[in-house]
Structure 1
Amino acid sequence: MKMNKWLRTVIISCATALTFGIGFGLSSQSNQVEAAAATYKTVSTASMKKAPYHKKSSAGVVWNTSHTKKVATLKGYPYTTWYATKKVTLQKSGGSKALYYQVKNGSGNVSGIVWHNYLTPGKAPFGLKYAQGAVALDVNTNGVVWSKNANTPRPIASISKLMTLYLVRQKISNGGGSWTSKVNTSNAGLKKLGKDKDYGGFKFTKNSYTVRDLYLAALIESSNNAAIALGQWVAGGATPTYNKKFISMMNSQAKTWNLDNTSFVSASGMEQDSLKPFGYNIGGANANMVSAADVAQIARHFINDYNDVLKDASIGSMTLDGQKLYNYNNLLPGRKYYQKSLNVDGLKTGYTPLAGYCFVGTGRKAGHDRIITVVLHDQNEFTETRSLMNYVYNKNLV
């Protein structure tokens, strides 16, 4: 028996939809988008004077102008100012009319329409989207001028090396050695660490290096084995026993500075579980836990007491013992995020999967005090540092 052409079309369409839904698992979002496409129509549009708005709460979606596709969630843009240029009235089939604003963010790369009740007039307050902890410090006054969860201890990865290198400088200043003093680097664990594909960077090809060589390797290349070797030297020996002694010195210095949200278990910033294969785990907590505010204080002491660290920290790259030391600070001249007016000349990067991307930045814009910024567990540490620095300067907070 021949099937009615209309009925056959309906059955095939239904079967196709069912197969697609079972085989590919349509998401609820896809269903919502399809439903939205079928039920909204534009009733009217009217131009309006360009005006700034920002999200009223965590609710809300930016749709494309035909209301058929989600462009973004307002929750995903917590500190974004949206500029409205049109009023758009939409009507859902069988339902009431609703007023939307046609908006675009400041950079112009995200645009669409938003239901007006999801927005509130005015520019968005400044904030950092990704950094879990952050602070901006005026070096001259020692005043915190902006912060986000600044007193919460977090893993800080290689930023820890600032304390290690400070204690190196302190020993030299106290007459306990010099830049040309020899540091024993013969330990098999440290040599193995230097060659490691994940945690290496500067290979120990000799059984000793000068303090100056290892200082530069730790500061610029962020060499973990160089930092540990220097710590042992500061503590007076060349074995893991002296590494443990040095970490006690790190914590003692933190107490001297009244850093109440600081605890060190590693001279390099590597976590204990990562140090174990090389023989340098000391037990206890897994990671150095330091707040953004305390990190800023460590950096401030370093800059104030040994200002030439800025000259070394601004070296983009150099060759040492036939190996290239590369500075991962991408706010330095010639790098991707460089901004001339900020005059960034330091200070230290850090990363582990546990700590995320961490960065201590410092610079002095003409006519302002020097600032130190810290971002911890970030995803875009350089863009957010640059945004923070510009905010501080533009608001004349320093």
Structure 2
Amino acid sequence: MKINRWLRTALITCAAVFSFGIGVSAQTAFAATTPKYTTVSTTTIKKAPYHKKSAAGAIYNLSHTKKIANLKTYPYTTWYATKKVTLKNGASKALYYKVSNGSGSVSGYVWHNYLTPGKSPFGLKYAQSAVALDMNTGGTVWSKAADTPRPIASITKLMTLYLVRQKISNGDGTWDSKVNTSNAGLKKLGKDKDFGGFKFTKNSYTVRDLYLAGLIESSNNAAIALGQWVAGGSTPTYNKKFINMMNAQAKLWNLTDASFVSASGMEQNSLKPFGYSIGGANANLVSANDVAQIAKHFIADYNDVLTDASIKSMTLDGQKLYNYNNMLPGRKYYQKSLNVDGLKTGYTVPAGYCFVGTGRKAGHDRIITVVLHDQNEFTETRSLMNYVYNNKLA
């Protein structure tokens, strides 16, 4: 049976007003009928933690004329109530809590039935491993299966590029040093539709050029060529030598859950057509904790990596280098308060979506976050960063 539009609207409005006391959509109903709220009573209470009961509900100002935030956009936030307030709208009264998040950046009034007592149980739904590290103290402030070695795809390049910087620091090269890029396998790799991204149109590039191609565009052939340069040559033999150097550096840092077989992060079966498979395990296997340590060393020793990692795009050798970090300013998952300025994305089928994020919220320490084998790496990284800061863990 069809109901005309006027009658349907009237029925919906009546149902919404009636539901205030029941909690089916109290705030929406009031806003649709009588927008004037008055305060009946206010009681100060001992500060108590609450978290959202479901996806419903919102936080308003006291007069209920402005929505401050939807609770569903703060899935892991603990709200601290400091007052009980009875508000009247028309003939109906309802109990509200005055709440704020841990940092005090969001506060307002929420209908009591949208909250449940206790601190929010924080979790990441999709990431198989994750960690948040305080850069200042070096301490882990949150983790999930963080000691389990997993494929890390192009996050590998952080170790490769660190060793490039180390060689320069040791006086064995400069940004302007020339890197041999004439290898046919690497040129073929650069043109590959799945694993390419920066084509070697010349037989040599500067270290700086390949460093930017590896960091920003995540060029696999650039990373391999740089590794060979670090190891002292320009053939697959030196690639294997460089991988030994990667593992030696991991051992020097006491990274007990790290094993490298690839300078770029590509798996062995993918490298084989280009002549760069060294045998053994198929993928680099590194834990989230050990990835965070690599990032920490890189930022501490060569802080300007953050300047380069925050470049959203640039042109090099007539080719566009595109940064896939979608938490940078202007990108889909950007949040101004987090000040994200790095660091590295990664993806292969075995590794899933991986991301090392870093930023520093005003008044807090810089944090490094790692999510491995994720499906929503930027959403979950943003949730993790907000959780750390809102709960004053860094």
With normalisation by structure 1, the TM-score equals: 0.72
> Are 1:268 and 2:264 counterparts?
yes
Secondary structure of the 2:217 match is coil
Query: Structure 1 counterpart of 2:273, which letter?
Result: P
The 3 A distance-change label for structure 1 pair 229 and 80 is farther
Q: Sort the Cα spacing of 1:279 and 1:369 in 2 relative to 1 into closer, same or farther, 3 A.
A: same
| Corresponding position: 1:106 with 2:78 | no
User: Counterpart amino acid of 2:178?
Assistant: K
Q: Which amino acid aligns with 1:345?
A: D
5 Å-filtered alignment, 1:43-192, equals: 47-48=21-22, 81-82=53-54, 106-107=72-73, 122=118, 124-192=120-188
**Alignment partner of 1:388 out of 367, 384, 387:** 384
Residues 135 and 293, structure 1, Cα contact 8 Å, conserved in 2: yes
Given the superposition, is the C-alpha separation of residues 129 and 80 from structure 1 closer, same or farther in structure 2, using an over 3 Å criterion? farther
Q: Which residue of 2 aligns with 1:282?
A: 278
* CA deviation vs aligned residue, 1:270-307 (integer Å, no higher than 9, x gap): 00000000000000000000000000000000000000
- List structure 1 runs of 4+ shifted beyond 3 angstroms: 45-50, 120-124
Q: How far is 1:82 from its partner?
A: 1.3
Q: 1:46 to 1:345 in 2, by over 3 A?
A: closer
Distance 1:244 1:311, change over 3 A: same
Deviations 1:57-76 (A, max 9, x none): xxxxxxxxxxxxxxxxxxxx
- 2:335 counterpart (339, 346, 349): 339
Q: Secondary structure at the match of 2:218?
A: coil
- Tell me the alpha carbon deviations over residues 194-225 of structure 1, each in whole angstroms, 9 at most, x when there is no partner: 00000000000000000000000000000000
| Aligned-residue RMSD, C-alpha | 2.3
1:107 Cα deviation after fit: 4.8
State the AA in 2 paired with 1:234: V
Secondary structure of the structure 2 residue equivalent to 1:341: helix
Determine the structure 1 residue equivalent to 2:189: 193
- On the 8 A contact 2:152/2:284 being kept in 1, the answer is yes
> Which consecutive unaligned segments of at least 5 residues does structure 1 have?
1-44, 51-78, 86-103, 110-119
Residue identity matched to 1:243: N
Measure, in 2, the Cα distance between the counterparts of 1:81 and 1:165.
45
After TM superposition, list the pairs within 5 Å mapping 1:173-322 onto structure 2: 173-322=169-318
TM-score with structure 2 length normalisation? 0.73
- Report if aligned partners of 1:131, 1:375 keep a CA contact under 8 Å in 2: yes
Alpha-carbon distance in structure 1 between the residues aligned to 2:374 and 2:289? 15
Conserved in 2, the CA contact under 8 Å of 1:81 and 1:105?
no
Q: Deviations over 1:133-191 (max 9, x none)?
A: 00000001000000000000000000000000000000000011000000000000000
Tell me which amino acid in the other structure corresponds to 1:333: P
Any conservation in 2 of the 1:261–1:289 contact (CA below 8 Å)?
yes
Tell me what 1:4 maps to: none
1:265, 1:288 within 8 Å by CA — same for their partners in 2?
yes
After superposition, give the CA deviation of every residue in 1:49-91 in whole Å (9 maximum; x if it has no partner): 69xxxxxxxxxxxxxxxxxxxxxxxxxxxx9841679xxxxxx
8 Å contact 1:81–1:124 — kept in the other structure? no
Distance in 2, matches of 1:173 and 1:84, equals 55
- Cα distance, 1:47 vs structure 2: 3.7
Q: CA deviation at 1:121?
A: 5.9
Alignment-derived partner of residue 330 in structure 1: 326
Alpha carbons of structure 1 residues 105 and 397: separation in structure 2 relative to 1, 3 Å = closer
Quote how far apart the aligned CAs of 1:108 are. 11
Contact kept? 2:56, 2:71, Cα under 8 Å: no
Tell me the distance in 2 between the aligned counterparts of 1:143 and 1:340: 25
Distance (Å, rounded) in 2 between the aligned partners of 1:346 and 1:83: 31
Shift of 1:46: 9.1
Gaps of 5+ in 2: 1-18, 25-50, 58-69, 76-115
Q: Give the direction of change, closer, same or farther, for the CA distance of 1:47–1:304 in structure 2 (3 Å limit).
A: same
**Corresponding letter in the other structure for 1:268:** S
Counterpart amino acid of 1:190?
L
Using the TM superposition, give the Cα deviation of residue 106 of structure 1 relative to its aligned residue in structure 2, in angstroms.
2.1
Partner AA of 1:227 in structure 2: A
Distance in 1 of aligned mates of 2:177 and 2:74? 56
Q: Distance in 1 between matches of 2:74 and 2:235?
A: 57
* Identity over aligned pairs, percent: 83
**CA–CA separation in structure 2 for the residues paired with 1:276 and 1:189:** 10
Name which one, 1 or 2, has greater alpha-carbon Rg: 1
Task: Call closer, same or farther: CA 1:287–1:49 in 2, change over 3 Å.
Answer: same
Indicate the SS of the match to 1:361: strand
Report the AA paired with residue 380 of structure 2.
Answer: E
Q: Is the 8 A contact 1:159 1:349 kept in 2?
A: yes
For 1:140 and 1:243, the matched residues in 2 are separated by 34
